[in-house]
Structure 1
Amino acid sequence: MQYDLSIINGRLVYKDQVFKGHIGVKNGKIAIITNRKDMLFNAKKIIDANDNYILPGLIDSHVHFRTPGLTYKETWKTASRAAVAGGVTTVLDMPNTNPYLSKVDLIDEKNNLIKGTSLVDYGFHFGVEPGKSYYLNLLNSNMIASVKVFLTGHHTAKNIIKDRTELEEIFRIAAEKNIILTLHAEDEDTLNLFRQYNNAPTNLIEYERHLSRSAGIIAIGKAIELVKQYGTQVHVLHVSSAEEVELLEVAAKAGYPITFETTPHQLWFDAMKDVELGSRVKLSPAIRSEKDQLKLWKSLIDGTMISVGSDHAPHSNKEKKRNFYEAPPGLPGVQEILPVLITGLMKNYPNLTFEEILSKVVSVMAEGPSKLFKISDRKGRIEEGLDADFTIIDPEDEWVVKKEDIYSLCQWSAYEGETLKGRPFMTIRRGKVVYLNGEFGEADGKLLTFKEFDPSKFNEFMSSPFQQLNKMKAFRRTNIL
């Protein structure tokens, strides 16, 4: 057989091992993985990895690429450049654009805007507007990655689900259709109490108290009640506090179909130590303390955190330079996420080998999100028959982050000046080189479809560290607790 592409002399990274090997690619798929490189010399193109590490193409399951309607902040072209420069080959984009992605016909409209501009493959999270949950009845689970539910909001997230009856209806429909709910889990009523009795925050420390961790804990408690009632699969986004992690881990141990992720920003920044960064690291939920960071890192190491998403949410420099209270929350991150995770793990877990660190990254940025969001038949692993998505990194390379290196339209990074390890020098998507040392390939990324999910296979599917679930029912569950 003649291969379209052969990659020789690589160290292939999996979630539980690293080994030397060679890869043959045909028609955008991994055709063979072998320890005999002589089998791969008959190829149209041969790439010598020179003993560098080959990871599966990363999946960033939480991005805001701002198309349509907010393209003065970011365009899909510039965002996908940032993605592949960061080793990301697949993204799942959030619905809070203009218009809001809350109607089925808008999926095709959005896809038509993106076609021909994307270096990455992509899918969409669907939105739900107050009073319009009936639109969810028109969805099929293969159309979307999830339904995103905002339990609180901010500058670019206005569609908050406050009514308990409507929230129950959303959980019921999602369970019936085997659709995952992704939650921005902060309780709006709780936050309003803090807003009522606190002055407007002027710095990160005040902001962390203003967006109290209590709101996240209460929202997750309410979500667990609804998961118990309806059997809905729930994934909690950008978890920020130690208490939330503890609650979510206990719920998973009890058998609830609930998973969670955090962002690189919550792992890296500290509201007390990084107060001088001001609105650049203003997020929703807020950056918290070292205690919270340590718990988040531990959950990543222990495997109870299923994924890490960049929450890439760029704003213009002008917006971020407003006074602290008026500046919108959010920052770019899709380009920085891989080296931030590698460097953070090296600092926090110095006893881990570099290969063990890369395996942890693959677990939360490839295998985990691919299984959670039902694309593991194509993405997330270096395995014969799957898409030939790879990122290659030099273990000795260090990157001092500078704004001129940032490909996002916003042209700034909260990590400027930081020295990071593990920046990719090559990214391959479906057998095509889409990034090589500052040069970009063909923008022919395509829209994903999603597999049907059998909820009775939840623990097996998620490689959960906890006990096996009883079979989940489509509606009210009576067999758990």
Structure 2
Amino acid sequence: MSTPDRTTAPAAAGYDLVVTGARVVTPQGVLEGGVAVSEGRIAAVLGPGETPAAARTIDAEGRYLLPGVIDSHVHFRTPGLLYKEDWEHGSRAAAAGGVTTVIDMPNTQPPLIEPDDAAAKAAMIDGKSLVDYRFHFGVTEDSIDNLYRLQPRQATSVKVFMTGHHTAPHVIRDPQALDRIFAIAAERGIRLVLHAEDDGVFALLDDYLGEPEGYDAYEPSRPRSGGIVAAARVVELVRRHGTSVHIVHVSSSEESVLLRAANRAGLPITFEVTSHHLSFSASDTQRLGARIRLSPAIRSLDDQRDLWNALLEGGVATIGSDHAPHTVEEKSRSVQASPPGLPGVQELLTAVFTGMRRRHPELSTDELMTRIAQVGSAQPAALFGIGDRKGRIVAGLDADFTLFDPDAVWIMSAGHVQAKCGWSAYEGWTFTGRPDVTVRRGEVIWDGRGESPVFGSPTGIWLDAESSVLPVENGPAAVPAAVPAPA
């Protein structure tokens, strides 16, 4: 194992924060030691026994020091839907889950489809967020020309809905409009983030089958064929234009295999899996109903197993929560009227670690932590233009990390929930692993070690970013190199 770059510059009068006694998850591997923090940045990666002077010292007591999770798929419902989530509650849930940066989706009311509105949205959030944040931009069939004006400060990525639902009405149905979006994104060096299910397939099924009357009919009404058709269309559009794309919440084995094959063939295609699709199966939807109704629908146990294999083998680029809270009242409506989506930013890290450990007891905790650091931090940072300051425990980068106890066994209850909706689909689950302390830019924003959790100050910032994609006219569209999975 190579030794990481340990130090930037020494602190003349001691550091602001020092963490000791940790198993530090670095890009070079897991090592015994800690970190020293100065002015919000990692000033030094410490070796065993190093305890330099600091204003505050935290003894990790053998916990893992993970880079702060970057959840690149949240719906914090700002503006327009604050009755079901807001940044005060969403960021508290994130901090309690070991998340230090989020990237928010644009399907709000109104949607984020005007570049100048990004600054206005950030102003609404300023002083209310524990975590740092970025935005995905939105596009409708009438707003495509706005992509020419989009700047990296506003967003480096654009969300495209190829189908919709209750809170996502702006669907790109016109094939020519979709083709134009891909062409402009390639020209401008914008990464497309896609909900890749084919709306035409679902319209045919709705006409033929009618709307589902019960949750046993929900998944068959929104089957894997919609995702497979859309994924194949995306592959062809990428071949035509060279556009860099990231497909979110992939749900089926077939999509996973196709997208991995496309990436292996050199196409700039990556994809995300959510903790929900890794945790639940279609039979759970029949049992729990609206509580775990998702779009895309949750699939079979075989699909779940294949998504886990893709995650461990290195085919998955990011994990995301698709944190999309709704009120209990909304989830209590009829099958037709209940909206898809559930909270998840707080549960993301713990749910993924719990699943990894139970499915792969042969892998060491070091191996599991290394993989989580890749898909949960380093790769989303690289994909969305913030890898120069986020995503890794390296001297000079932001001091974003979480102290994670891999041996904690605990039962999730409604009392743990920080999201505004007040409920979790994981209530009653026995989890293994828990983020005990979360640090964002050197400030402790969550400390759950005592009887009552302690939160920090809502001083999260709107991050600037650089495009991580080369425009096609200047060279091939860029995609982060694949990171090998644990041996």
Using the size of structure 2 for normalisation, the TM-score is 0.93
Please say if residues 391 and 427 of structure 1, whose CA atoms lie closer than 8 Å, have aligned partners that are also in contact.
Answer: yes
Does residue 195 of structure 1 match 2:195? Answer: no
**Equivalences for 1:15-164 in 2 at 5 Å?**
17-35=29-47, 37-38=49-50, 40-164=51-175
Correspondent of 1:449 among 464, 467, 470: 464
Structure 1 CA distance for aligned equivalents of residues 283 and 216 of structure 2: 6
Please say if residues 30 and 387 of structure 1, whose CA atoms lie closer than 8 Å, have aligned partners that are also in contact.
Answer: yes
Please say if residues 243 and 477 of structure 2, whose CA atoms lie closer than 8 Å, have aligned partners that are also in contact.
Answer: no
The alignment partner of 1:5 has SS state of: strand
**1:462 aligns to what?**
481
Structure 1 CA distance for aligned equivalents of residues 144 and 347 of structure 2: 35
The alignment partner of 1:78 has SS state of: helix
Q: CA deviation at 1:462?
A: 3.0
Deviations 1:240-282 (A, max 9, x none): 0000001101111111100001110000101124521111000
Q: CA deviation at 1:136?
A: 0.9
**2:243 aligns to what?**
232
Deviations 1:178-208 (A, max 9, x none): 0100000001101111111113223443111
> CA 1:98–1:12 in structure 2 vs 1: closer, same or farther (change >3 Å)?
same
Structure 2 CA distance for aligned equivalents of residues 339 and 356 of structure 1: 16
Which segment is superposed worse, 455-464 or 268-277? 455-464
**1:290 aligns to what?**
301
**1:5 aligns to what?**
17
Q: CA deviation at 1:231?
A: 0.6
**Equivalences for 1:232-251 in 2 at 5 Å?**
232-251=243-262
**1:334 aligns to what?**
345
Correspondent of 2:357 among 319, 339, 346: 346
Deviations 1:434-479 (A, max 9, x none): 000111001000001111335358677333669xxxxxxxxxxxxx
Structure 2 CA distance for aligned equivalents of residues 274 and 286 of structure 1: 9
Structure 2 CA distance for aligned equivalents of residues 373 and 322 of structure 1: 37
Does residue 181 of structure 1 match 2:192? Answer: yes
State the AA in 2 paired with 1:444: T
> CA 1:263–1:457 in structure 2 vs 1: closer, same or farther (change >3 Å)?
same
The alignment partner of 2:283 has SS state of: coil
State the AA in 1 paired with 2:413: K
Deviations 1:341-370 (A, max 9, x none): 011111211211222111121111011111
* Structure 2 residue runs without a partner (length 5+): 1-10
State the AA in 2 paired with 1:57: G
The alignment partner of 1:45 has SS state of: strand
> CA 1:464–1:22 in structure 2 vs 1: closer, same or farther (change >3 Å)?
closer
> CA 1:452–1:274 in structure 2 vs 1: closer, same or farther (change >3 Å)?
closer
State the AA in 1 paired with 2:29: Q
Please say if residues 3 and 43 of structure 1, whose CA atoms lie closer than 8 Å, have aligned partners that are also in contact.
Answer: yes
Please say if residues 204 and 272 of structure 1, whose CA atoms lie closer than 8 Å, have aligned partners that are also in contact.
Answer: no
State the AA in 2 paired with 1:234: V
Structure 1 moving runs of 4+ over 4 Å = 456-460
The alignment partner of 1:44 has SS state of: strand
> CA 1:104–1:460 in structure 2 vs 1: closer, same or farther (change >3 Å)?
closer
Please say if residues 189 and 477 of structure 2, whose CA atoms lie closer than 8 Å, have aligned partners that are also in contact.
Answer: no
Which segment is superposed worse, 82-91 or 169-178? 169-178
Using the size of structure 1 for normalisation, the TM-score is 0.94
**1:472 aligns to what?**
none
Does residue 309 of structure 1 match 2:320? Answer: yes
> CA 1:179–1:36 in structure 2 vs 1: closer, same or farther (change >3 Å)?
same
Please say if residues 303 and 465 of structure 1, whose CA atoms lie closer than 8 Å, have aligned partners that are also in contact.
Answer: yes
The count of aligned residue pairs is 465
* Structure 1 residue runs without a partner (length 5+): 467-481
